[in-house]
Amino acid sequence: EIVLTQSPGTLSLSPGERATLSCRASQSVSSTFLAWYQQKPGQAPRLLIYAASSRAAGIPDRFSGSGSGTDFTLAISRLEPEDFAVYYCQHYGNSPLFTFGPGTKVDLK
Amino acid sequence: EVQLVESGGGLVQPGGSLRLSCAASGFTFSTYSMNWVRQAPGKGLEWVSYISSRSRTIHYADSVKGRFTISRDDAKNSLYLQMNSLRAEDTAVYFCGRQDAWGSLDYWGQGSLVTVSS
């Protein structure tokens, strides 16, 4: 069973700063099936990145994904006020079919 | 425009049953795999169940196996989750999600709250 660990748990930053979020898998996974989501309070998650590095439709280019094997990163180049939210990584595989990380909260410093 | 709209949530006693629905529009529902994902209050996301196009393949999380049943009606563009033997720990917002070719959920509904309490 694959376990996803995200760090840090909370990231306190100011608008305009760069955010770097980490997602580590307990064993090597295919980057084809690694995704990132953003969730704001009271809202459904929103797909940001699929296949580790491809931006979903309508996602600004300040969001980027990278990584392979067991280590993946979501970067936000310059934080906008609307980017303060919780971010989850997710893997699609086997048993369980979907695994989500515990999330990283990006909050206002 | 792709839309997913859940309904059917509410308050139910432990041991009770509830059926969630997810109405899809704006895309060819029958060709997509669909999923249910839940989020307990103040907690993270937990995948619940998967159904492929044409209902060929179905999967469940261990936490709901034997109690929940996923189904779909392509003629009605609808996804369902029949939840039986509900427990307090099933209390959550339940989201339906459309799966893309990369195993991501590219569209989500707004969620339906299920509260299991006496």
Calculate what percentage of chain B has a pLDDT beyond 70.
Answer: 100
Nearest-angstrom CA–CA distance, A37 and A4: 14
> How is residue A51 written in tokens?
């296949």
Residue B91 has pLDDT above 90, yes or no: yes
Q: Minimal CA–CA distance to B16: which of B85, B67, B62?
A: B85
CA distances from B72 to A67, B14, B35, B76, B113 (A): 36, 26, 11, 9, 20
Q: Is the pLDDT at A95 greater than 80, yes or no?
A: no
Q: Is A44 close to B46, i.e. CB distance below 8 A? A: no
Q: Looking at beta carbons, which residues of chain B come within 8 Å of A43?
A: 110
Instruction: Identify the pLDDT of residue B44.
Output: 98
B44, B59, B106: residue with CB nearest A47: B106
Nearest to B103 among A39, A92, A101 (CB): A92
Question: What does the pLDDT look like over B26-61, one tens digit per residue?
Answer: 999 999 999 999 999 999 999 999 999 999 999 999
Is the pLDDT reported for residue B16 higher than 80? yes
Going along A30-82, which residue ranges are E strands? 34-39, 46-50, 54-55, 63-76
- Residue A71 pLDDT > 90: yes
Residue A96 — pLDDT band, cuts 50, 70, 90?
confident
Average pLDDT on B68-91 reads 98
pLDDT of residue A94: 80
d(C-alpha A21, C-alpha A40), whole Å: 16
Report pLDDT for B93: 98
CB contact under 8 A, B106 and A88: no
pLDDT at B11 > cutoff 90: yes
Please give the average per-residue pLDDT across B4-19, as a whole number: 98
* Whether residue A45 has pLDDT greater than 80: yes
Contact A45 B35 (CB under 8 A): no
Q: Give contacts of A32 with chain B, Cβ < 8 Å.
A: 102-103
Q: What would the mean pLDDT of B87-107 be, rounded to a whole number?
A: 98
State the average pLDDT over residues A50-74.
98
Instruction: Tell me if residue B48 falls in helix, strand or coil.
Output: strand
Whole-number percent of chain A with pLDDT over 90: 96
Helices (H), chain B: none
- Chain B interface, Cβ < 8 Å to A: 35, 37, 44-47, 50, 59, 61-62, 95, 100, 102-111
Task: Kindly identify which residue of chain B lies nearest to residue A105, measuring between CA atoms.
Answer: B44
Q: Percentage of residues in chain B with pLDDT exceeding 90?
A: 100
Nearest-Cα distance to chain A for B47, in Å, is 6
